[in-house]
A = this chain, B = another copy of it.
Amino acid sequence: TRSYAITLLPGDGIGPEVISVAKNVLLLAGAIEGIEFNFHEMPVGGAALDLTGVPLPGETLSAAQQSDAVLLGAIGGYKWDNNEKHLKPETGLLQLREGLKVFANLRPATVLPQLVDASTLKKEVAEGVDLMVVRELTGGIYFGKPRGFSTNQNGEEIGLNTEVYSISEIDRIARVAFETARKRRGKLCSVDKANVLEASMLWRKRVMAIALEYPDVELTHMYVDNAAMQLVRNPKQFDTIVTNNIFGDILSDEASMITGSIGMLPSASLGEKGPGLFEPIHGSAPDIAGQDKANPLATVLSAAMLLKYGLGEADAAERIEAAVLHTLDRGFRTGDIYSDGNKLVGCKEMGEEVLKAV
């Protein structure tokens, strides 16, 4: 048996509920495939703030760094919304990404045939959508310096941030994107604002340079405003999208909503080496926390990404993915993806059905 150390970060809101389901799914799929897991549960986000006064305690980061992979639930909640920046739950997440050096965020947006009606887009526009956003995650305006508050020449207060990318930052995310596209349908669309921003001009130049290493991948470029439109107009035109941190934040959320089922969508954040960070793309949903209403499937599918991208355990990953599809085929639905004729279940029952299917 292979054995892996997994750091579980349940976080806030519905985080603990969905992590508990995903943990059981991992245990069972692992047992069948001859994989053993050692789970370490650590606090992050608001939970960590309440417990320790900071959103990412040093013990949590070092546990994460020393493990083979990290599975996160969700962070944030009304309670901490007005905290100062360094005491926001979100800051804990950004510190975790930085601390794990996970610069490549992979966010699939797939419309499952079972759930095509959940999209607000017309059936003929939504069906068959299967795209992947590769978002740069540890650079750009999220981390650029200088940042903060200052005064301008007129003595007026200003707030400022710096969008900055270096050649090596662009090159490494471009390579991940080309590799990803190569394993998919061989099409990569790089999204930038190179008609206005110098940071985007360098981005485009380097993506074009790296493209020479991947002659088998078809590269196109699109401005971010146009990309936001094209995702609505005809999302099927996209295979793999690569973009910077802030544009990726916006476009991956837009793409996920186009599928109509953000309760279903996982993500993987990977570095050059070291453990990856895996998390559902949905938030902590404080309004339904603790009510057994959350959809655990995004976290279960994140656990599958953890197996595939984090541990190289593709068989166990596929077993979990197949179990999720089978559970949907049998008509089980949490409230967020419910439609007439199906069986409405809670978070726990959905978890049990997936376990049966595993």
Interface residue ranges, A against B (CB under 8 Å): 76, 85, 88, 90, 94, 120-122, 125, 141-142, 144, 147-149, 152, 154, 156-168, 193, 195-203, 224-226, 228-234, 246-247, 249-254, 256-258, 262
Residues of B within 8 A of A157 (CB): 166-167, 202
Is B94 a contact partner of A196 (Cβ separation < 8 A)?
A: yes
Q: How far is the CA of A164 from the CA of B228 in the complex (A)?
A: 23
Most buried by B among A88, A159, A249: A159
Residues of B within 8 A of A262 (CB): 229
Is B162 a contact partner of A166 (Cβ separation < 8 A)?
A: no
A254-B229 contact in complex given A120-B121, A166-B157, A198-B161, C-beta closer than 8 Å? yes
Most buried by B among A141, A200, A251: A141
Residue in chain B with minimal CB distance to A152: B166
Could you list some 28 contacts between A and B, CB below 8 A? A85-B198, A88-B195, A94-B196, A120-B121, A120-B232, A121-B122, A147-B198, A148-B198, A149-B202, A154-B168, A156-B166, A158-B166, A159-B164, A159-B200, A160-B162, A160-B198, A162-B163, A193-B246, A225-B249, A228-B250, A228-B254, A228-B257, A229-B253, A229-B254, A232-B254, A232-B257, A247-B250, A254-B254
Main DSSP-derived SS at the A contact region: helix
Is B160 a contact partner of A164 (Cβ separation < 8 A)?
A: yes
Would you give the shortest CB distance from A57 to chain B, in whole angstroms?
A: 20
Number of copies: 2
Q: How far is the CA of A180 from the CA of B251 in the complex (A)?
A: 28
Is B163 a contact partner of A167 (Cβ separation < 8 A)?
A: no
Would you give the shortest CB distance from A137 to chain B, in whole angstroms?
A: 12
Residues of B within 8 A of A88 (CB): 195
Q: How far is the CA of A246 from the CA of B246 in the complex (A)?
A: 11
Would you give the shortest CB distance from A230 to chain B, in whole angstroms?
A: 8
Residue in chain B with minimal CB distance to A259: B232
Most buried by B among A154, A197, A247: A197
Is B196 a contact partner of A168 (Cβ separation < 8 A)?
A: no
Q: How far is the CA of A88 from the CA of B197 in the complex (A)?
A: 12
Would you give the shortest CB distance from A1 to chain B, in whole angstroms?
A: 41
Contact of A197 among B161, B197, B203, B225 (CB under 8 A): B161
Residue in chain B with minimal CB distance to A117: B122
Is A251 a contact partner of B233 (Cβ separation < 8 A)?
A: no
